[in-house]
Amino acid sequence: MIISHKYKFIFLKSKKTAGTSIEISLSRYCGKNDIITPIAPEDEEIRARMGIKPQNFMDDDNKEPKFFNHYKAKKVAKLVGEDIWNSYYKFSFDRNPWDKVISHYYFRAGKSKKNISFSEFLKRRKFKGAYNFPIYTINDRVAVDFLGKYETLEEDLKKVCKEIGIPFDGWLPNAKGNFRKDRQHYRRHYNTAQKELVRKYFKKEIDLLGYEF
């Protein structure tokens, strides 16, 4: 997550939507008073090579994080206060849930020492971790000024940067891009029951953004 006082924007980082890549790229434009939350050590190495690191995310006593990745809009609004929340440009991204669940499966499997099949992953309902709706909504209503799509990421991010005055050069690192080894289309992974399981759980995202299987 990024809260930029320099450019007056709030990036609400959703899950499995290239959020880390967006965060690394936009960090390049942040000022010294902006809030940049930590990411995984291997991804921080990318930022470190550019002389950038997390900043201003700790509480006033510098003992515990005050801001962290994937915070929900409701929590961020409370933390920053009404004036900032209402006046800053807020944006987030989401992704076709069936594709997002596949990405989440390979990410979890890649970090786990246990082999788990996709069927077992769905059966244990571990796909819940890819649910983004509460990140960019408050009381089931969209709380951001712009909700982009992973499928049109570069185009949408350029629109955002034009709106907030960032001279975006189009660069996005391939953060967390090495976990998914099977690049078959997501439809090939699902049977009918599994397809419907995802449809029911991610119904709010699907209805809002018009995604189809």
Strand partners, 147: 92
Half-sphere exposure of residue 140: CA atoms within 13 angstroms, side-chain side? 3
Full DSSP string of 1-34: -EEETTTTEEE---SSSSHHHHHHHHHTT--TTS
Q: For 18-56, give one letter per residue: b (16+ CB within 10 A) or e.
A: bbbbbbbbbbebbeeebbbbbbeeebbebbeeeeeebbe
Cα–Cα distance measured from residue 115 to residue 124, given in angstroms and rounded to the nearest whole number: 14
pTM of the model: 0.93
Q: Tell me the pairing of strands 2-4 and 35-36.
A: antiparallel
Strand partners, 2: 11, 36
Give which of 30, 20, 204, 170 is closest to 107, Cα–Cα.
20
- pLDDT tens digit at each of 213 positions of the chain: 999 999 999 999 999 999 999 999 999 999 999 999 999 999 999 999 999 999 999 999 989 999 999 999 999 999 999 999 999 999 999 999 999 999 999 988 766 667 889 999 999 999 999 999 999 999 999 999 999 999 999 999 999 999 999 999 999 998 765 555 667 889 999 999 999 999 999 999 999 999 999
